[in-house]
Amino acid sequence: MARLLSFLIAALTLAWGPTALAACGPGQPGSTFRFPVADTGRSLVVHLPRGLDAARPSPLMFVLHGSGGTGEAILRDSRLADTADRHGFIVVAPDAGIPVERGFVWNIPGVPTITGEVPGPTDADDVAYLTTAIDALAAQGCVDPARVYVTGLSGGGRMASWLGCVAADRFAAIAPVVGLRAGNPDEQDPARPDPATCTPSRPMPVMAFAGDADTVNPIQGGGAGYWSYTMHAAEQRWAQINGCATVRPTRWIAPKVYEEGYAACREDADVVAHVTRDGGHSWVADNEAMWAFFSRRSR
């Protein structure tokens, strides 16, 4: 009997590959748990969709909290775990690397946080941490490294934008929520992005969500030092980066939501923005539209 069992296990391993027998961390489909990230001393919250097939690597979506927030809170407030259950992707919610009050802020080099201070050389490298997290999850055998996406709220949206600039080799698309940027504000003219601070290695598909009544990160520009230029300026810069040939006609897609952006971009890297009329500084994203955009793209 023991020899027969060993034979069956070996046969299954050959037929299904190693991922079929591997667990995605300690969790089961439909579960939410904390996952330690390699040797970083940090962990992140992971939600595995109910229909997870351990034999087939799944898409992975990062959702990044806003300044002063936590991964647990943004996973709850965004309701992306429900979206993941419907569509079969894994969603993870890390904490940023710089503690502040009861939460954390992201390290975007050269840009002040909500405290007004620019991160220094001793602060945690969040880009390195997040890319290490991709590797750690992929090593579990349940994540497809070619289908990794990132969204985030406010400061998390700015961090998602930054990842689009500096880690295009790891992320297939980005979807900032009330936080679209395209590099740091230009030191000489903060009303425009500094092109030298956002030079991705490939075209980056972008879907952004915003509210036209947001007074924290106003789409009209201004605000804090980390914001400054308009959302339109960010869209235009991404369109330049992606080699977009066509301006999307502005159109209403819902009673209080209009769409704008750019199309006919290199490598299908369109730039799309959904703006909610009277929407404020909150999760104004349409999760279904976000996933539809992500699901059509891979590296």
pLDDT digits (tens, 9 = 90+) for 222-269: 999 999 999 999 999 999 999 999 999 999 999 999 999 999 999 999
Nearest to 40 by CA among 122, 111, 125, 108: 125
Measured CA to CA in angstroms, residue 85 lies from 52, 81, 88, 91, 205 at distances of 9, 6, 6, 10, 24
Contact 22, 141 (CB under 8 A): yes
Residue 273 CA to residue 4 CA, distance in Å, equals 58
pLDDT confidence of 4, banded at 50, 70, 90? Answer: very low
* 69 vs 51 pLDDT, higher one: 69
pLDDT of 16 > 90? The answer is no
157 Rama sector, left if φ>0, alpha if ψ -120 to 50, beta otherwise: alpha
pLDDT at 24: 67
Q: Which residues of 133-160 are buried (b: 16+ CB within 10 A; e: fewer)?
A: bbebbeebbbbbeebbbbbbbbbbbbbb
- Tell me what pLDDT residue 191 has: 95
Instruction: Return the pLDDT at 8.
Output: 33
> Do 276 and 169 contact (CB within 8 A), yes or no?
no
> Tens digit of pLDDT for each residue in 140-189?
888 999 999 999 999 999 999 999 999 999 999 999 999 999 999 999 99
Task: For residue range 37-46, list pLDDT tens digits in order.
Answer: 988 999 999 9
Res. 26 pLDDT band, cuts 50 70 90: low
Pairing of strands 58-64, 143-153: parallel
Asked whether the predicted pLDDT for residue 14 surpasses 60, the reply is: no
Q: Cα-flanking dihedrals φ and ψ of residue 108, to 5°? A: -105, 105
Predicted local distance difference test score (pLDDT) of residue 2: 42
pLDDT > 90? residue 192:
yes
Tokens found for residue 23: 């667990």
Q: What is the pTM of this model?
A: 0.91
N-term to C-term CA, the chain:
46
CATH number for domain 28-295, candidates 3.40.50.1820, 3.20.20.70, 2.130.10.10, 3.40.640.10: 3.40.50.1820
Closest by CA position to 269, among listed 217, 207, 185: 207
Please give the pLDDT value at position 21. 31
pLDDT score, position 55: 80
Read off the tokens for 4.
């027969």
3-state SS, residue 232: helix
Q: What are phi and psi of 260, to 5 degrees?
A: -145, 175
* 188 Cβ neighbours under 8 A, 6+ residues apart: none
- Cα distance between residue 75 and residue 283, in whole Å: 11
